[in-house]
Amino acid sequence: MNAMINKLPRPPEKKTGWPWTLPRSWREGKIKSPLDLPLVSVVTPSLNQDKFLEETIRSVLIQDYPHLEYIIIDGGSTDDSVPIIKKYEKWLSTWVSEPDKGHAHAINKGWKTAKGTYVTWLNSDDFLYPHSLKESVKVMERNSAVHLTYGNVARVNVLSQPCDIDFKGGSFDLKEMLVYWKNPVPQPGFLMRRSVIDQIGFLDESYLFSFDFEYWIRMAANQLKGKHIPRKLAAFRIHKQTKTSRIQDVRVRDRFKLCEQYFQDERLSQKFRKEYHKKSKNRLYMNAADIFYQRDCPELLRKYAKKGIQESKFNYPAYIYFVISLLGRKGILVIKKKYRMIKGLFLRPKRYELRK
């Protein structure tokens, strides 16, 4: 491991700190032999992310975890991604650059070649923090009943600087996910047993946005266990080209598809489906309304507020959203401005769990 770190290409000029340079204590420290550790397979799906890809690659390769299989699945990038991959190819297990069928399909391609006892994926604009793999493997090795581990995740900007509240992992609970729509797993930095794929299959490629959330729900529906590690394991980058920033409307459609899929799933008890289906849909209407309120879109805000009212006449937030929608875009902007002023005067910032 130490030899590999010393032989990696030099970082670009003026790039310092993690994962570009390491403290002397890391370079001189002793690391276990690969023969003493289970193999970890990391897949990075990528498409035209040359601004961030090298940082992602280095954050994986310089982990203090030597028994590593690193796979990059590039979707046929037309920027400088391929030269960056070739720069590090001697440290990669395999890589390809060819058109694929989307994000989930690229990850599945990598997972189908992965040989590790543990597997994960790391998007090409995110990066791991020091000790991430080592800490996750340690927890899994000590807890044979745990199938998935995940930590907290920092939100960073294009300069890799913290820019907002962290994503904090939550309870891996089916009701929390499927009724209250709380995603407990900040995806960067998660690790799971390869046997999970053997048991429940690969990612569902029909979901463009929520394929990871669907996978956690599927795991919980199959009684598989997740464990939160209360430390920061990775960083999630916020920039204009992120999928999260571009396709919130697809997120809404994916959520409703998930709701209908799992409330017809016989792995869930009839009592659970009967008791919570209406509540789940109502929460989705309010989540959708909030998304379009944040986007200053009165027509779609009104649409989902009306659906919330139709679902339950006691849905008071839906009435508030409906009235706000009648004020139009300018009215929404005025209300949001006044709300921020009031919040700044009387409320302290809070830390929230990831919602996806």
Q: How would you class 42 by CB atoms within 10 Å of its CB: exposed for 0-12, middle for 13-18, buried for 19 or more?
A: buried
Note whether 206 and 260 are within 8 A (CB): no
Q: List the beta bridge partners of residue 153.
A: 167, 234
Cα separations in angstroms, 288 against 24, 108, 324: 49, 29, 15
Whole-angstrom Cα distance, residue 347 to residue 173?
30
pLDDT class for 243, splitting at 50, 70, 90?
Answer: low
167-199 pLDDT, tens digit each? 999 999 999 999 999 999 999 999 999 999 999
Give pTM, 2 decimals: 0.90
| Residue predicted with more confidence, 42 or 165 | 42
Q: Which fold is adopted by the domain 2-245?
A: Spore Coat Polysaccharide Biosynthesis Protein SpsA; Chain A (3.90.550)
Cα separations in angstroms, 104 against 261, 330, 354: 18, 38, 20
Residue 202 has pLDDT above 60, yes or no: yes
pLDDT of residue 2: 44
Instruction: Give the domain ranges of the chain.
Output: 2-245, 269-346
Share above pLDDT 70 across residues of the chain, in percent, rounded to a whole number: 90
